[in-house]
């Protein structure tokens, strides 16, 4: 979420000066804290609303209005991590998950940077060791075929590894898609550790919880909170055959997000949680639209 990075700030200013907003560039010092938000907007039917102007958006941090420094609304490449449960509880769902993940990748932008993180009691990356990301769907398909179903579940460790990995991508839009039953019985990390790591990033996390009558150890609340806190959505397919529908919805949601950036007016570097609210008003009806955005972020600490 917060970036102390000259390159990122310069990128944001370049966007301001581009044809998307025609705003005169401003100067910021290297220590500026750029807060980047990925915002999904929909009407009351849940249909994505596209083509909104910058003026329709307002950002409020801890009840204080913030100035939008840059605004972008276009389908751009995304860094996407597929975080897949390989524990024994997922054995019956393995083929459905592989097929759904494969279709998800093929429905995205051809320049997306993709990777796979597998977890059971261990955590490992699905791509070849010398490959951090790929846009080659055949390579990704081979990685998906390596999905197994054995052992216990270290979901928190898997998500943490994926958050660390996706942060190395130069792309500004970063997404994780976690497919699991939500249970964890083997991680070194705790849920609070992973949540804090997510709140320090600008990564949107979508979760797909697959439950059945046999495996009852899943934790819906964990999956819901991860998604809600980062601006994603939690899905709970009624049966494993509906996993593809959930991933299709996620792919469409990713493609229709707006990118907003601002430099917080709160200059304290105290590591505190700062609550974010984005308000979007329909220019035609003048009614508020539904917004999905991260609940807030952890400010940098000295």
How far, in Å, CA of 202 to CA of 36, rounded?
A: 7
Q: 257 or 30, which is more confident?
A: 257
Q: 24 or 272, which is more confident?
A: 272
The model's pLDDT over 199-233, given as tens digits with 9 standing for 90+, comes to 999 899 999 998 765 545 567 899 999 999 999 99
pLDDT for 200: 92
User: Quick one: pLDDT band at residue 183, thresholds 50, 70, 90?
Assistant: confident
Compute the average pLDDT of residues 164-169.
Answer: 97
Start-to-end Cα distance in the chain: 17
The model's pLDDT over 6-55, given as tens digits with 9 standing for 90+, comes to 344 444 444 444 444 333 333 333 345 789 999 999 999 889 999 999 99
For residue 291, CA distances in Å to 42, 56, 58, 184, 296 come to 7, 12, 11, 30, 14
pLDDT for 32: 55
Q: Which of 190, 196, 249, 248 is nearest to 219 (CA)?
A: 190
Q: Are 117 and 144 in contact (CB under 8 A)?
A: no
Beta pairing class for 123-125 and 174-180 = unpaired
What is the reported pTM? 0.86
Residue with tokens 């940077």: 113
Residue with tokens 């897949």: 84
The answer, yes or no, to whether residue 154 has pLDDT greater than 60, is yes
Tally Cβ neighbours within 10 Å of residue 145: 10
The model's pLDDT over 98-137, given as tens digits with 9 standing for 90+, comes to 999 999 999 999 999 999 999 999 999 999 999 999 999 9
Compute the average pLDDT of residues 53-58.
Answer: 98
Quick one: CA dihedral 166, 171, 172, 178, positive or negative? negative
Sorted by where each starts, the structural domains of the chain and their CATH numbers stand as 2-75+258-298 (no CATH), 79-255 (3.40.50.410)
């Amino acid at each position: 979420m917060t970036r102390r990075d000259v390159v990122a700030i310069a990128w944001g200013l370049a966007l301001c000066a581009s044809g998307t907003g025609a705003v005169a560039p401003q100067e910021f010092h290297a220590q500026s804290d750029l807060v980047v938000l990925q915002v999904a907007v929909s009407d009351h039917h849940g249909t994505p609303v596209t083509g909104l102007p910058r003026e329709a958006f307002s950002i409020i941090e801890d009840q204080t209005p913030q100035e939008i420094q840059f605004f972008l609304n276009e389908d751009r490449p995304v860094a996407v991590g597929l975080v897949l449960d390989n524990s024994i509880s997922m054995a019956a769902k393995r083929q459905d998950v592989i097929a759904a993940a494969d279709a998800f990748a093929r429905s995205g932008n051809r320049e997306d940077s993709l990777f796979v993180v597998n977890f059971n009691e261990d955590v490992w990356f699905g791509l070849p060791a010398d490959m951090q990301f790929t846009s080659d769907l055949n390579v990704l398909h081979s990685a998906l075929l390596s999905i197994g179903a054995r052992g216990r579940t270290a979901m928190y460790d898997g998500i943490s590894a994926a958050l660390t990995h996706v942060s190395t991508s130069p792309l500004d839009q970063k997404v994780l898609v976690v497919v699991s039953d939500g249970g964890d019985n083997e991680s070194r990390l705790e849920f609070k550790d992973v949540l804090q790591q997510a709140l320090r990033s600008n990564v949107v996390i979508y979760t797909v919880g697959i439950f059945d009558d046999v495996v009852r150890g899943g934790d819906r609340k964990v999956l819901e909170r991860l998604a809600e806190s980062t601006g994603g959505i939690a899905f709970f397919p009624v049966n494993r055959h509906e996993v593809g529908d959930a991933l299709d919805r996620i792919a469409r949601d990713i493609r229709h997000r707006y990118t907003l950036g601002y430099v917080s007016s709160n200059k304290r570097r105290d590591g505190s949680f700062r609550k974010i609210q984005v308000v979007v008003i329909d220019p035609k009806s003048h009614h508020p639209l539904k917004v999905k955005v991260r609940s807030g972020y952890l400010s940098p600490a000295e």
